[in-house]
Amino acid sequence: MKRIILAAILLTTANSFAQSSFTWPDGKQMAMSLSFDDARESQVTMGTPLFDQYGVKATFYVVPASVKKQLVGWKTAVKSGHEIGNHSLTHPCTGNFSWSRKNALEEYSLDRMKSELVQCNQQIKEILNVDSKVFAYPCGQKFVGSGVETKSYVPLVAEQFQSGRGWMDEAPNDPLYCNFSQLTCIEIDGKTFEQLLPLINEAKKNGLWLIFGGHEINVEGNQTTRIETLKKLITYVQDPANGIWIQPVGTVSNFIKDKRGITN
């Protein structure tokens, strides 16, 4: 019986978010960032007009070639104060995905990845006149090479960017401990607000930073964030009674680093 009770206690502890004593601005209880990947066209045709209507700033991790398909919309997004991040030059993922077989991380070297991260930032600067400080790992994958030659490219991201965001993680970020080169991200695609609320409440209870990540906005198909979800979420977040500080990833990163005395 004692073993059963102990196992239950350990399981409960493992499944709970860590309690943080971090102090957020203006007495807020948690931080939240909305982020979207790939520079999908719907992000500036459906997403940014909604965010601008509510006065919310989001983070968009872009691939330069995709930006050019809706260049006017992306330039408007920049003028509106949305954050533009680097999502790599060509979006390489594991060749285990058939659609990435010709652009597989297994075929990359660290030198090639470093070069493409630099090129991506250069193109973002040329296209949008933005110096990208934040990065999101395509497919959330953080390696190059294969087998015994596999290497992490997290150190490259740490050298070049203020932060690196993952994908489809299991928990929010603890501001007192989080690794800025491997920030966690929770998928918002396909979710209702009611499905997100328990996660938000748990993050708020423990003073954490919750980063949501999505792709398309209000279009048919997979990897789509519902407009109804965003409207309910933003309305909830902007109610002062709920104590949520919503800002782009870079803004929250800078705030935490300043509080923790981190200079890079």
**Residue 200 domain boundaries:** 33-260
**10 domain residue, yes or no:** no
Tell me the backbone φ, ψ of residue 18, rounded to 5 degrees. Answer: -65, 140
Tokens linked to 130 = 């933005």
Angle at the Cα of 23 (from 213 to 131), degrees rounded to 5? 45
pLDDT one digit per residue (tens) for the chain, 264 residues:
444 344 333 334 444 555 668 999 999 999 999 999 999 999 999 999 999 999 999 999 999 999 999 999 999 999 999 999 999 999 999 999 999 999 999 999 999 999 999 999 999 999 999 999 999 999 999 999 999 999 999 999 999 999 999 999 999 999 999 999 999 999 999 999 999 999 999 999 999 999 999 999 988 888 999 999 999 999 999 999 999 999 999 999 999 999 999 887
Q: Looking at the domain assignment, is residue 15 inside a domain?
A: no
Residue 18 counted as domain residue? no
Q: Are 139 and 106 in contact (CB under 8 A)?
A: no
Q: The tokens of 156 are what?
A: 């490259």
On the CB side of 13, CA atoms within 13 Å amount to 6
Q: Quick one: how far is CA 242 from the chain centroid?
A: 22
CA atoms within 13 A on the CB side of 58: 27
Instruction: Kindly state whether residue 120 falls inside one of the protein's structural domains.
Output: yes
Bin 113: left if φ > 0, else alpha if -120 < ψ < 50, else beta.
alpha
Determine, yes or no, domain membership for 23.
Answer: no
Q: What is the CATH number of the domain that holds 131?
A: 3.20.20.370
What is the tally of structural domains in the chain? 1
Does residue 70 form part of some domain? yes
In a domain, 247, yes or no: yes
- CB distance 202 to 28 below 8 Å: no
Q: Is residue 85 part of a domain?
A: yes
Q: Which two tokens stand for residue 84?
A: 């533009």
Packing angle, helices 110-128 and 71-79, rounded to 10: 80
Residue 221: per-residue pLDDT? 81
